[in-house]
Chains A and B, each alone.
Chain A
Amino acid sequence: MSKFPKLAIATALVTLTATPIFAEKMGLGRPATTDEVAAWDLDVFPDGSNLPVGSGDVLVGEELFADYCAVCHGDFAEGVDNWPKLAGGADTLDHEDPLKTVGSYWPYLSTTFDYVRRSMPFGNAQTLSNDEVYAIVAYIIYSNDLVDEDFVLSNETFTGVELPNAGGFIVDDRAETEYPIFTDRCMADCKDSVEITMRAAVLDVTPEETKARAIQEMVEATNPRNAPAAPAPEVAAEPEAPADPVVEAAAAPMALDADLVAKGEKVFKKCKACHKVGDGAKHGTGPILNGVFGRATGTAEGFGFSKPMIAAGEGGMVWDAETLAGYLANPRKYLKGNKMSFAGLKKEKDLAAIIEYLKSVSQ
């Protein structure tokens, strides 16, 4: 009561004369249907109440995470750029710049489930099934070393998981710790000397272009749900891969299959959030891809490549049909330790198309 001074008491008195039960109703609005309430009332509480029935395991979660989440949160939930880190940071809360993650900071697993179900993936919220949400949450706690890789998260196992920082919170205590001491209103002779101890470090706050919209496009493009429902009818004859792409790259212009280039441009939507092409393109999360075909790996000027990518280029690796096909099918496996957070293209046709497209931007 003390938090709500005079006004609260005044209104409390008023309501005594008009207790809620007898409050006059206006007769506005209409009753909500049970289905309507169910559609919007998704709250999940720390004790697990209101959890939907379902389950998902760490391994499935890892795949889903790579597809839906890793572009921002990193493959290992370690975060990309300024996007939130979801794992790590154990025992850093009393350090300078603590790392606040699901594992190190969040008190309740219900919060993670609730948030992923309502608001993620960013730009594509409320498209995951409950089982998918269970699986992704399972992977997030696995990334925080809180469960083993064979763990299955379900509405039944849910309350068995306690997050490390569950006991790390206290209710606002400013009324005891601050209000009694913040009363000093000295007017004269308050101090002897005044010295500058720190000056504004950041003077340039000029806004820069951001990746937000591109990221959203990317999220949409990479959402497996948005993939064409039925596979296109078998193409009678796939154009043959160039016999010697390096040689061909050197010779200009390259022979291009316009149809395949067009298909590749569509596939490239999955890459656009991070990679720019064309006039005026700049490095984004990934390097510009103008001229990538025929170029040594890790050599696009001005981009901060991973060490393995630079080393491969120095060792003679060139982006050609073969290396691109291998890399784009499974980036993480093909070149261990590289920075590209992309699950890979699973279809041969997509690979052929994108390579043709990348050739076309390398003319």
Chain B
Amino acid sequence: MSDEFEGVKPSRRGFLTGAAAAGAALGTAGMAKAEGERLITEVQDWATGLGDGVDVTPYGMPIEFEGDVVRRNVEWLTADTISSINFTPIHALDGTITPQGCAFERHHSGAIEMKKSDYRLMINGLVDTPLVFTYEDLERFPRMQKTFFLECAANTGMEWAGAQLNGAQFTHGMIHNMEYTGVSLRTLLEEAGLPDDISGKWLYVEGADASSNGRSIPLEKALDDCMIAFKANGEALRKEHGYPVRLVVPGWEGNLWVKWLRRMEIMDAPVESREETSKYTDTLADGTSRKWTWVMDAKSIVTSPSPQAPIKHGKGPLVITGLAWSGRGAITAVDVTIDGGKTWQQARLAEPGKDMALTRFYLDIDWDGQEMFLQSRAVDSTGYVQPTKGALREVRGLNSIYHNNCIQTWWVKADGEAENVEIS
């Protein structure tokens, strides 16, 4: 260790003398002006001086030049910002993992602050023994780790009646994708003792915040693949995502992923709570409404180019990229059209699709500089093909609000700017 440390000093001195020598050389060699970019031909400040030390940023934030890659909200959507939603800047991200700091938030009574030491999880109802766990208890159960997307049922909901919001962040940003660490619900519920017959049983889940956001989930689903999570992307959940513990309900609408989870109750029947009757139900054209529409169907979106990410380089090589996902399985293919759906070509998946997680796709084209009607279309492992807006409306009408998984159109103009449109 000490050998290594001593080795650093001479090299640092060497660097400094080297830099001074270079500066001197430039000063005297002014006679022949170098041809080319000054960024290259001239020694830049960052190549002369020093950067930050390791004690400057104990927990790093994105560099200032990325300051526009932030969550945004749409003021007119809700009455206030406490019971409201904001949007992930998907237009500016790549890959599939959403950093926690810009992953969208949806609260019904605001993001509460709760210490781990104040956290309690109760399991009651049709179990052998109603139990209470502390946070420390939860960390002692066998763990699991998996990556899932979380999509709000209302994602793209503002687009039912027509093209409204100009940006992928706003039309499709109620989504994030994180690697969760936690404990399976099966493990926890078995600790309390499951009923002999689980068929037709329900699990009611609620949070510790004022909204409680109670939801009823078929026990079968809960035991199949649901988990509680205390870590996301390797670190503790953020306050706004339910610190210290949230529920993970893979492939199903985000509202079920109860934050600040405080209680789970096994029941004979659903509670029919506010969030599963008056909200998160999908009204059809004839006025009847679908309930229990939990699963999120296959969907995709071109994140760039898009209204917030226009083409600035003119014609020539262009990377078209976006995200695809399905709550019913894995993405097996994504097709992209640049002519509004006359012809489609299959995009390249960055990695094979994973069940109920985001998949990144790319299509590399030689853009001719002409306007494009850009769309993407997801296909999942059940054979389901993402429908057009028209096809969805034919079944559901215009008042459905939730579960709008239609194909989105960006009208990319010759100048590279893009706009949210609907096309025939």
Contact = CB atoms under 8 A, between A and B. Distances in A.
A20 B189 CA distance: 9
Contact of B132 (A31, A182, A194): A31
A188 B341 CA distance: 8
B344 A201 contact: no
A207 B342 contact: no
Contacts of B383: 183
B113 interface: no
Interface stretch (A22-30, A248-256, A344-352): A22-30
A174 to B, nearest CB: 7
A203 interface: yes
A114 B287 contact: no
Nearest to A213: B82
B387 A168 contact: no
B293 A29 contact: no
Interface SS of chain A: loop
Contacts of B386: 182
Nearest to B194: A20
Contacts of B192: 29
B27 to A, nearest CB: 49
Contacts of A119: 108-109, 210-212, 274
A172 B276 CA distance: 12
A236 interface: no
A17 interface: no
Given A28-B191, A126-B210, A200 B421 contact: yes
Interface string B263-282: 10101010111100110010
Contact of A193 (B223, B271, B385, B424): B424
Interface stretch (B71-79, B235-243, B360-368): B71-79
A187 B387 contact: no
A97 B398 CA distance: 9
A203 B166 contact: yes
A125 B210 contact: yes
A121 to B, nearest CB: 10
Interface in B315-354: 329, 335, 339-345
Contacts of A115: 273-274
B141 A26 contact: yes
B343 A29 contact: no
A174 B195 CA distance: 30
Contacts of B293: 172, 174
Contact of B341 (A3, A122, A191): A191
Contacts of B76: 82
B164 A45 contact: no
Contact of B340 (A102, A106, A194, A208): A194
A110 B191 contact: no
A43 B265 contact: yes
Interface string B389-424: 001000100110000000000010000000111111
Contacts of A188: 342-344
Contacts of A46: 272
A18 to B, nearest CB: 9
Given A202-B165, A205-B165, A111 B274 contact: yes
B419 to A, nearest CB: 6
A82 B79 contact: yes
B122 A32 contact: yes
A36 B132 CA distance: 9
Interface stretch (A4-12, A298-306, A308-316): A4-12
A197 B423 contact: yes
A179 B385 CA distance: 9
Contact of B269 (A45, A83, A189): A45
Given A199-B163, A205-B72, A40 B81 contact: no
A261 B271 CA distance: 51
A40 B122 contact: yes
A240 interface: no
Contacts of B370: none
A53 interface: no
A278 interface: no
Contacts of B272: 45-46, 107-108, 110-111
B64 interface: no
B262 interface: yes
Given A45-B269, A94-B285, A188-B343, A198 B290 contact: no
B80 A212 contact: yes
A5 B383 CA distance: 14
A227 interface: no
Nearest to A198: B422
Contact of A81 (B79, B132, B355, B423): B79
Interface in B135-173: 137, 140-141, 162-167, 170
B292 interface: yes
B136 to A, nearest CB: 9
Interface string A40-57: 110111100000000000
Interface of B: 72-76, 78-84, 108-109, 122-125, 129-134, 137, 140-141, 162-167, 170, 186, 190-196, 198, 204, 210-212, 214, 220-221, 223-225, 262-263, 265, 267, 269, 271-274, 277-278, 281, 283, 285-295, 297, 307, 329, 335, 339-345, 355, 373, 377, 379, 382-387, 391, 395, 398-399, 411, 419-424
Given A43-B214, A205-B165, 12 more contacts: A4-B220, A11-B224, A26-B140, A93-B399, A118-B212, A119-B274, A123-B82, A169-B288, A172-B293, A194-B340, A200-B163, A208-B75
Which 7 A/B pairs are nearest by Cβ-Cβ distance? A212-B80, A194-B340, A94-B287, A93-B287, A20-B194, A82-B79, A125-B210
Interface of A: 1, 3-5, 7-8, 11, 15, 20-21, 23, 25-26, 28-32, 36-37, 40-41, 43-46, 72, 81-84, 93-94, 96-98, 100, 102, 105-108, 110-111, 114-115, 118-119, 122-123, 125-126, 168-174, 177-179, 181-203, 205-208, 210-213, 215-216
8 contacts: A5-B329, A7-B225, A29-B131, A46-B272, A72-B79, A94-B286, A200-B166, A202-B166
